[in-house]
Structures are given as structure tokens and as C-alpha cells.
Structure 1
Amino acid sequence: MPDLALVPRPTDLTADPRPGPELTTATRIGSDAASRGTETWLRAELGAATGLPLPPGDPGDAEIGLRVDPGAGLDPEGYRLDIDEAGARIVGHDPAGVFYGAQTLRQLLPPAAYRRAATAGAGSWVLPTAHVTDGPRFGWRGCMLDVARHFLPKHDVLRFIDLLAMHKLNVLHLHLTDDQGWRIEIRRYPRLTEVGAWRRETQVGFGRPTVFDGRPHGGFYTQDDIREIVAYAADRHITVVPEIDIPGHSQAAIAAYPELGEGEPVEVGREWGVTEGVLNVTDATLDFYRHVFDEVLDLFPSRYICVGGDECPKGPWKASASAQRRIAEEGLADEEELQSWFIRRFDAYLTERGRRLLGWDEILEGGLAPGATVASWRGTEGGIAAARAGHDVVMCPTRTSYLDYRQSDAPTEPIPVGTVLTLADVYTAEPVPSELAATPDAGRVLGAQANVWTENMDSPRTVDFMAFPRLAAFAEVVWSAPDRDYAGFLPRLRTHLARLDAAGVEYRPLQGPRPWQQRPGVPGWAHTH
């Protein structure tokens, strides 16, 4: 039987040595109305790589046929792919299932199927004879991309979306604002991007004293850019979840509009870590952010809207007369409850508009807003507590999900951060904590996401290096059945790396960084536990 090396591993796969159909100038792609988007995508991708026209045909007799059939006995997002000498047929429970079946079809072709133009050395385009029945384990298969710390141009965000789709991931959590930059145009408040999208220099590494690069850094997405990103992702069955961080991690906004903050005016953050830039709790600031979210909701149809809520400094509130007055007026116990009060205002705002609030697990402190979904990052404890309290959870603990963490103990790893998070660590992680397994609360775990924090990723090349191939391993964690085998994954991954090569992904080689992927002399903040 041929080694088909699919990533992520499908639920059920059978194949035999007989070659299947060859793509030729006569090959047609046909689809029903519900699968038309996948037909368009598949023709564009395979047509570019093969140089073949792949004209449309009737889905019943075209060599590649695509259709949706909710009665086919498949789960949501599931598909069945049958390939024999006559051609390939993909049936999906829904349009997303058809799309994932087409992604699998592409993997069954030579790696050159991921190139943008036909190449002389690609050889013939023969599919194997195979039968695949497949569907995802989790409904939330996500990746958080931080474009606030280092801006990623729109072209590279679209490329990243393609890479998520290639791995059957379906959520892009876009971290759009932080202390070091505001990345989304808000027309009512133009200074958010005129001022907040730019910092005068950037911290390099984590040495003491702090070293800066002396170079301005910035950028933002116009509202039309955002609409394009959202539509491009939707065509690939990816939901873009925006994050506007409140009430902490707000220094860039406060730099643009000082009346939002506590204390003296500040500049857009140049350093990493937790700053004292916290929003005040006046009615005017609440109204400001409601207006911001009005525009955000108009751009993002996602059911979930992330408000951050993490690492909120309480010192400025302790020293603030207006914050202390608010605590007294609302009958709150302390600044922890004040943060919860602040978050609850936006939980109510989002609920009224048919949306759901998503926040990092600090929103548990001081009492959890009734409609909130928790992203559990400080270990699994927050997720366990939220699930037991009846709230939905997305698991993303640092020890298994933070792709900014160093990939080995070797001195060649660039700017080593955090604990070691190897490919094997990512692959063997289990999203459902043992404390919830085999309990009704396990159903509260919507899924998991990997987080790409970009303090030390100053270009798309470094994002590639830190994200891949660990993100390919993560994709199998959230798609495939939990009985995973790392020894069996590695040979499939080695084949998959040829696909990443063809797609132009500058991943970290399994044996370690290439010379130009290193950053000698730039210290990190690595720890060992």
C-alpha cells in the first residue's frame, strides 16, 4: 500500500497499490451549488501548479466531483473522498467538509501541487486509489496571530490563512491591539492609527540594560483590508476572531487618546512585558470602547469577539480617585472585582448584539461574566474552573501552545523564550484536561488554539520559523482522534515538509535552525519549569 502521509491523520484511510486517475487537459472539476466555492478554489490552486485548464463539468460525471450531502452519515465538517481509476469524488456533510476533502485531495498529489506555477520537474499528476472518511475531533481548531507587537502586512496575513487552511484549522484569532501598537482603522477615532499604530523603536531581546533597535515600527489594516482578510478566510472556512484588548494592554490607545488612561500621558510602548497602561473606568471610556466595538462588529461577523482581559495592572486603579469612586458606587470589594465589572459591561454589550465575549483566563478573577468563553493560557486550571462553572473553554496553555517558546535547549535557537516546547511536546499534548475527561464538563472544551506571540518575530520569515512545523503537529492534535502516535507522525511529517518547501514556508528543520535563522548574542528570558 502506498504511503500517503496525510497531515492531519484522517479518521479512516484505505489505499491499494493501483494508481488512480491522472490529471490531464481533459480533467474536469464539477460541483453542486453548495460546493461552488471549493470548486473555484481547487481549480485556481491546482490549475496554477499543474498548468492544466481543469474546466467545469457536471458533478455526476466530472473526473473530480464535489457535492454536499447532509444525509451522507458524516459529522459536521466531515467528508468522504473516494478515488478510483475513473476519478475522485468528494462528499461533504457541509461546504466546509467538501473543502477539507479537497485539501486532502491536494495532499495526495506530488508536493509540487503547492507551487504557484507549473514546473518542468513536477512529473505526472497521478492520484492514488484511496478511500478516506474523515472529520474533526474539535470545532475550534485555532491559531492566535499577534500582529500588534510586530505588524504583519496584509499579504502575509492572507498567506498565513492559506497555511491554516492547508492544515484544516478553522479559527484565526487576530490580536489587533496591545501596548506596542494599534492595528485596525477605527474611523470615529483616527488617532488610534495616526498615533497608536507607530512606535519610535523596539526592544531587542531581553538583556539588561534593555537594548533598543532605534527604528520606528508600525502599520495597520484599513477597514477594507479587514473586510478582505475576513472574506478571504471565510472562503477557506476560517473564522477570524478579532481581539481588542481591554482594560490592560492598552498603552497604544492611551498614547493616542490620553483621556482614556490613568495618570500622565504615555507614548506607544517600546518595551515588552506588562506595562502600567490601563484604561480608566469612567463612563466616557466605556462609551469610547463601545464605539470602537460598534465598528469592529461591523467588520467581523464572528460569533466570538475577544476583549483580552489579561495581565491588567491594578496599581493605577488603587491610586485613582475615579477608580476608587467607581468601586464604592458599584459596591465592589476591590480592584479585582472592578476588572470583572468592566468586562461585564462588554459582555452585556456583546450579548445584546448576538455575539459572545471571549477573554483570557484572568477574566475569571473577581467573577466571570455570564456570557463569557474563556481562553485558558496560564495552565489548564482556568479552563477547568470555567468549564465546571458552565462556561465554554478554548485550551491554549503556555506549556503546550505558545509557539514563541524556544524549540530546544541548544544555543542556536534564536532569542530563547520561556520553557522548551518541542515538536513532540506540541504533538503529545491533550486539549481536554484529565480533570474534565469522562465528565459532562468535557463537552465545554470547544477545542484548542496555538498562540503566535510576535515580540521576537519581526518578519514573516521568523513567524514561519517559530510556527512550523509545530503548527502542523498541533493541527493533528485538534483534528485527529486522541490515540496519536508521535513515532508514526514523524515519517508523515517528513513527507509533509516537502509540501511546505513547495509552498515557500521557511520552517525550522527538524535537526535545528539554519545559520540565517539564528540570532547569536541576543539574550532571551528562558526558564526551565
Structure 2
Amino acid sequence: MPGFESLLPRPVSATATGGSRPWPAEVEVENSDAVPAEGYRLDISESRIRITASDDSGVRYARETLRQLVGPSAFRVANVHSGPLTVPCGTVVDEPRFGWRGCLLDVARNFRTKAEVLRFTDLLAAHKLNVLHLHLTDDQGWRLEVPRFPKLTEIGAWRRGSMVGRHDGPERDGRPHGGFYRTDDLREIVAYAAERGITVVPEVDVPGHVTAALTAYPELGAENSAREVWTSWGVNDDILDPSESTLEFFRAVFDEVLAVFPSEVIAIGGDEVPGATERHGTFLIKLAEYLHGHGRRALGWDEMLDAGTLPAPTIIGSWRGEEAGARAAAAGLDVVMCPEQYVYLNHRESDHPDEPIPVGFLNTVEDFYAYEPLPPGLPEDARHRVLGAQAQVWSEHLDSVRRVDYATFPRLCAFSEVVWSPAGGRDTAEFTERLRTHHLPRLDALGVEYRPLDGPLPWQTRPGVPGRPL
């Protein structure tokens, strides 16, 4: 509707009534159980602005919509606008389609400072996403302080260099890389996110992707385990020895995780385990049961479906496609859809010859906007098992916050609308125009170095750094 076409994600309904109200303005808030969770009604007239919601999240999203309506100036940290600001009069009735609207940020492969994580959290909140999945451990680094096991960060939090691009040769950059979050840093991130309606879901990845942990504590692995934090990308053959002593070690690690992160959901990995045995499956199931015994829910990648009979509270992250998610939902397990082919933000954005480090599947803005989180053929009685969807920012080739910005935006803008707005009726041309006209100026105001729609800027390219497109 006129005056409301700039909303992103799209509202369930919007009616413009003409006129405008000066901004900033006092906002009335009314509680009503008639409004769905996280939903809101926003009424703007020349005399008042009123938000009606049933919870704090609804109020928060209504205020975010107001910020969108004011215009890009409202996204700056200081007022640079000359003259009065106004907001158009009308009514918006809005609610999210899915309860899980997430984004994974991999801080293990390339560490992001606390300040950078807080900034990323702000950007998720601006897009009405509500889950930040922090991938805290991997072969290339351990980022979580565990006071009982100090070598995890003393040794496991840094590596002597990194593979440049994606290739099969021995070339490395020779630049040491590292970093980790102290306990109070993580508590601060959690609290900051909560103030913005975002739950931080931590991940400690086991029994594969553990080279950093094995470098610190070799006794956790097989005799021939590597003895340095990995400098390559990809899948390392090192895996945990699924013994009782290893299980006790990681129960203690997760005790620290439980003490720091109040999230109901705790991620335990389970993906890409070369040479996995039945004992490794049992190891994962016992860790899941341990978390469930402490009132939490384990989230594992879809390989966990092959581990054995999973405890009912387990959530499956369907990343290798949609089939595993459909299978898990049909089996009575809750699912978060995050298929590599559709929502991996580290994958290449175009066939443009200057695309930096082009890896993986081709996933354009239009591809993200066309994604449907409910897998085809999913039985009607299993659809409620799909909690929502999650975009993934794996960071092997994202070695700075500028590179994260480039890979993430504006594709995350399209994803945010997919997981918020009703199914069907998506008009790609209309979305692209709305993105170009209204939302990219907001990203400019926020200082986001996104990928331009027509290709990378010269300083966003990486000449001579090899990729591996699929």
C-alpha cells in the first residue's frame, strides 16, 4: 500500500490512510492476548502511534517497523537529517510465519571479535531474525573459554597460518590467527542479544571437527591424531575416541556451556565424522541425553539421524538437503531447515568473473527469495515439526568483517522475508525493486559493506585467490 511498500519483511496486511506524523513521537503500547506471539498491530494517526501486542517481541518488531517507515536516517547512530522526520499514517498487522528465524555465524574458522559479534546481532535484529547460532569450535580453532580445561584456549584458540582460498596444494598465508571469548564476553553477548529478542544458540562440534581440541588434549583422540590446530579448510580425519573418559570431558565442557548460555537449545554438531562407528553414534546420543537431563534440547546436524534412536527432544538441522529434514519430521523430531543448496551464505553469489573466492553452489538473492522452508511432499501432520529455517555463514573464506558483510547481505534480507512472511505470493521483481529502493539505503546507513546487486566493487574482489565452485 502507498507509504508501506518499504516494509521488509512484508507485513501480513498494511493499510495507508494518508497523512503523516512527526517523528520522533510518543508511542502507546497496549497488551492484548488476541495478538499472536511475536505479532503486533501498529496504528499510526496524525494524533498518536499505538502498538498492540501480546509479548515483548511483538512490541520490539513493531518499533522496528516504525524505524523502517521513518526511512534510512533512522538507522544511523546519530541524527544527520535536516528538517522534520515523519512517519506515514496507516495500520500494519503483522506476525511471523516461523518461530525459528536464525542465522549461523562461524567464529571458529575465522574469529570475530566480541564487538563484531555484537554488531552482527544488531543486523539480525534489524531483519527481525531471532536466533544467532554461534559455531564456537572446529578443527581450525576453539573459541570458548572453559576454565577447567585451560589448554583448549591456550593452545586450541590459535593456528600458525591459514589456507588461502580453496585449492589442493600446500600454500598457506603464514599469518598466525586466533582469539577466543572469555566467559564474561559470552555472557555479555547473550545479554545483548536477549535485549534485542535474539536467542544465542552455542555449538560445540563433536565427535568430528575437533582437531583444535585434540591439539590441546591429545588423549581425547586416537593415537595418530594431529598435533596442531589445522591450517586447512574442509574435513579433517581426526575424530574423538568415544570412550567414557572422553564423554566425561565433554560433559564437563557442556556444564560450562549450560552455565553461560540460557538457551533451551544447545548444538552438539555430529556432522562430517570420517570413519564414524556405532560407538560415535552412542557418544552423541549420550551427550544429547545429558543435555535433556538438564532441561535443555540438543540440536544436531542431520547425520545424527544415523546415530541410533534419538531422544524425542532432539532437534535436527537439515543441512545436506531437504530429505533428512522431511525424514526427521515424519519420525516425530523437530527440524530446523538449513539446506546447503539454498541457504549457505558463504557460497558464491553469481558467476560474475570477479566474484571473490567463488565456492559451492550458486545462490543469488533471487534464489534465497525463492526458497521454501517446508520440504515438498512433507505430510500435513508433520509440517508443525519444521520450527523454521536458518541461513549459514561459514567463514573459511571470510577473513574479515568486510568479507562477512559482502557474503551475508543482501541475501540475508531475502531470507528474512522468507521466514517471516506468509507462504506464496512472492514477486521477485517487486522484492528486488523494494530492496534496491528502500532497503539498501538502510544498509548503507548501518555501514554494511554488502555486495552490490550488479556485482562486486573493485576492493571487494580477491584476484588470484582460488575458489571451488560446484
- TM-score by length of structure 1 reads 0.86
Task: Give the greater-gyration-radius structure (CA).
Answer: 1
Question: Residue 15 of structure 1 corresponds to which residue in structure 2?
Answer: 16
* Structure 2 letter corresponding to 1:474: F
Paired residue secondary structure (1:244)? strand
Return the offset for 1:122: 4.4
Which of 268, 289, 292 aligns to 2:253? It is: 292
Matches within 5 A, 1:79-94: 79-94=40-55
Question: Residue 160 of structure 1 corresponds to which residue in structure 2?
Answer: 120
Q: 1:211 to 1:122 in 2, by over 3 A?
A: farther
Whole-angstrom distance in 1 between the partners of 2:298 and 2:159: 29
Paired residue secondary structure (1:359)? strand
Question: Residue 28 of structure 2 corresponds to which residue in structure 1?
Answer: 65
1:431-488 deviation line (CA, Å, top 9, x unaligned) = 0011115x10011000000000000000111000000000000000000001222122
Matches within 5 A, 1:106-145: 106-119=67-80, 121-145=81-105
Paired residue secondary structure (1:461)? helix
* Structure 1 letter corresponding to 2:444: D
Whole-angstrom distance in 2 between the partners of 1:169 and 1:197: 29
| Corresponding position: 1:526 with 2:460 | no
Question: Residue 511 of structure 1 corresponds to which residue in structure 2?
Answer: 454
* Structure 2 letter corresponding to 1:66: V
| Corresponding position: 1:456 with 2:397 | yes
Return the offset for 1:348: 1.1
Question: Residue 401 of structure 1 corresponds to which residue in structure 2?
Answer: 343
Question: Residue 276 of structure 1 corresponds to which residue in structure 2?
Answer: 237
Question: Residue 441 of structure 2 corresponds to which residue in structure 1?
Answer: 498
Contact 2:242 2:280 in 1 (8 A): no
Return the offset for 1:506: 0.4
Whole-angstrom distance in 2 between the partners of 1:3 and 1:236: 24
Question: Residue 327 of structure 2 corresponds to which residue in structure 1?
Answer: 385
Question: Residue 420 of structure 1 corresponds to which residue in structure 2?
Answer: 362
| Corresponding position: 1:358 with 2:299 | yes
Whole-angstrom distance in 2 between the partners of 1:293 and 1:154: 21
Contact 2:111 2:178 in 1 (8 A): yes
Return the offset for 1:368: 4.1
* Structure 2 letter corresponding to 1:305: I
Deviates more, 1:202-211 or 1:418-427: 202-211
Return the offset for 1:366: 3.5
Matches within 5 A, 1:203-242: 203-242=163-202
Contact 1:340 1:368 in 2 (8 A): no
* Structure 2 letter corresponding to 1:455: E
Contact 1:386 1:393 in 2 (8 A): yes
* Structure 2 letter corresponding to 1:156: E
Whole-angstrom distance in 2 between the partners of 1:243 and 1:490: 34
Return the offset for 1:66: 2.4
Which of 261, 267, 276 aligns to 2:228? It is: 267
Which of 108, 115, 125 aligns to 1:148? It is: 108
Contact 1:361 1:377 in 2 (8 A): yes
Question: Residue 332 of structure 1 corresponds to which residue in structure 2?
Answer: none
Whole-angstrom distance in 1 between the partners of 2:122 and 2:441: 16
Paired residue secondary structure (2:91)? strand
Paired residue secondary structure (2:468)? coil
Question: Residue 314 of structure 2 corresponds to which residue in structure 1?
Answer: 372
* Structure 2 letter corresponding to 1:11: V
Whole-angstrom distance in 1 between the partners of 2:44 and 2:317: 40
1:292-322 deviation line (CA, Å, top 9, x unaligned) = 00010010111110000000111xx6xxxxx
Return the offset for 1:16: 3.1
Question: Residue 35 of structure 1 corresponds to which residue in structure 2?
Answer: none
1:163-220 deviation line (CA, Å, top 9, x unaligned) = 1010100000000000000001001001100000000000011123232110000100
Aligned length in residues: 465
1:114-169 deviation line (CA, Å, top 9, x unaligned) = 111121x4442101002000000000000000000000000010011011010100
Whole-angstrom distance in 2 between the partners of 1:3 and 1:443: 31
Contact 1:5 1:491 in 2 (8 A): no
Question: Residue 3 of structure 2 corresponds to which residue in structure 1?
Answer: 2
* Structure 1 letter corresponding to 2:423: P
1:11-67 deviation line (CA, Å, top 9, x unaligned) = 01011332x21126xx4xxxxxxxxxxxxxxxxxxxxxxxxxxxxxxxxxxx31224
Q: 1:312 to 1:198 in 2, by over 3 A?
A: same
* Structure 2 letter corresponding to 1:131: T
Paired residue secondary structure (2:430)? helix
Matches within 5 A, 1:322-341: 335=277, 337-341=278-282
Paired residue secondary structure (2:369)? helix
Return the offset for 1:69: 2.3
- TM-score by length of structure 2 reads 0.97
Contact 2:97 2:422 in 1 (8 A): yes
Whole-angstrom distance in 2 between the partners of 1:301 and 1:466: 29
Q: Show structure 2 runs of 5+ residues with no match.
A: none
Q: % of aligned pairs identical?
A: 55
Contact 2:284 2:307 in 1 (8 A): no
Whole-angstrom distance in 2 between the partners of 1:122 and 1:355: 50
Contact 1:68 1:98 in 2 (8 A): no
Return the offset for 1:282: 1.4
Contact 1:5 1:496 in 2 (8 A): yes
| Corresponding position: 1:248 with 2:208 | yes
Whole-angstrom distance in 1 between the partners of 2:175 and 2:116: 21
Contact 2:210 2:238 in 1 (8 A): yes
Whole-angstrom distance in 2 between the partners of 1:185 and 1:346: 20
Question: Residue 263 of structure 2 corresponds to which residue in structure 1?
Answer: 302
Whole-angstrom distance in 2 between the partners of 1:82 and 1:149: 45
Whole-angstrom distance in 2 between the partners of 1:122 and 1:338: 66
